[in-house]
Chains A and B, each alone.
Chain A
Amino acid sequence: MAHPSQLGFQDAASPIMEELLHFHDHALMIVFLISTLVLYIIVAMVTTKLTNKFILDSQEIEIIWTLLPAIILILIALPSLRILYLMDEINDPHLTIKAMGHQWYWSYEYTDYEDLGFDSYMIPTQDLTPGQFRLLETDHRMVIPVESPIRVLVSAEDVLHSWAVPSLGVKMDAVPGRLNQTAFITSRPGVFYGQCSEICGANHSFMPIVVEAVPLEYFENWSFLMLQDA
């Protein structure tokens, strides 16, 4: 989850998010280098007493400041495309879950074997127990088996919503009448938080998403218990 005065991304919980994190570090480093160079040049230009009013052309520097940016752009584009194609790989999911956006809660459906469906409402601030996170906790979590490829089909029952979990590197718009597919694998067990990412009315900020990744046996127990409760 996010931390107070956090500057960077949340810790990655999926391989794709790890890649995105590293790419961001790489691209940001290039940005810092260029910015530092430009700032240095500006300061140097502004603080010098030397002048030369007779410069006409200069092949060498023109070549350098054309070639170097082209090379830098390629150095950014190649890792970026690598990740793009990685995200586009054909995966073989073990489980399909439907995340349906409503005003103002998510509902999850696990229908591969039995018809399991439940709503996931935010826990109001006054009902939180010590240690729980304000505006992030829900009464029912989307429980998944850890290290298994999961397919999530996102849609909405009323207006536009968006299902996002930053630590998994996932965001997918929930459009009424449309079934949007996304997939991920959790690298480790844990609880991962997200929030609705498309303005959807008064309580848009109060319909969070909580994904809980557990070992397979726990997942099987949980789904059995959830089916009984339904």
Chain B
Amino acid sequence: MLGTDLQNYRTAPFDARFPNQNQTRNCWSNYVDFHRCQKALDAKGVDTAPCEWYRRVYKSLCPMSWVQKWDDQRDEGTFPGKI
């Protein structure tokens, strides 16, 4: 994938799926994608390094309080997304 070089990561690049002002879904998608990726690769017993991109992007975009809330919800089993 173009621009997915983790070594040169500066910040979340432009994502054509979310071209406009409202980036809420961008943060949400990357958070969910990271945890799905992790769960899927863990289940296969494979190294989860490919998931690192999603983690960097959601860390850049998502407010820390949102991440905290979602992490707590996942621990409780009340997270609204499908992982």
Contacts and interface: CB of A to CB of B under 8 A. Distances in A.
Contacts of B22: 178-181
Interface string B7-47: 00111111000010111101100000000000000000000
A213 B18 CA distance: 28
A93 B64 contact: no
B65 interface: yes
Contacts of A151: 11-12
Given A96-B60, A109-B63, A111-B59, A180 B12 contact: no
Nearest to A115: B64
A181 B23 contact: yes
Contacts of B12: 96, 151
B14 A92 contact: yes
Contacts of B14: 90-92
Contacts of A157: 65
Interface string B55-75: 010011111110000000000
Nearest to A114: B59
A109 B64 contact: yes
What class of interface size applies to chain A in its complex with B? 20 to 34
Nearest to A173: B21
A139 interface: no
Contact of A153 (B9, B19, B23): B23
A100 B66 CA distance: 11
A179 B18 CA distance: 12
Contacts of A155: 63
Contacts of A100: 63, 65
Nearest to B63: A98
Nearest to B13: A92
B11 A94 contact: yes
A90 B23 contact: no
Contacts of B23: 153, 179-181
A179 B24 contact: yes
A113 to B, nearest CB: 9
A110 to B, nearest CB: 9
B27 to A, nearest CB: 6
A153 B18 CA distance: 13
Interface-centre pick from A98, A100, A117, A157 (highest chain B CB count, 10 A) = A98
Closest A-B pairs by Cβ, 6 of them: A96-B11, A179-B23, A179-B24, A181-B23, A96-B60, A112-B11
Given A98-B64, A115-B64, A179-B24, 18 more contacts: A90-B19, A92-B13, A93-B10, A96-B12, A100-B63, A100-B65, A111-B64, A112-B9, A112-B11, A151-B11, A151-B12, A153-B61, A172-B21, A178-B24, A179-B26, A179-B62, A180-B23, A182-B21
25 contacts: A90-B14, A92-B14, A93-B10, A94-B11, A95-B11, A96-B12, A98-B63, A100-B63, A109-B63, A111-B60, A111-B64, A112-B10, A112-B11, A112-B56, A112-B59, A153-B63, A178-B22, A178-B24, A179-B24, A179-B27, A180-B21, A181-B21, A181-B22, A181-B23, A182-B21
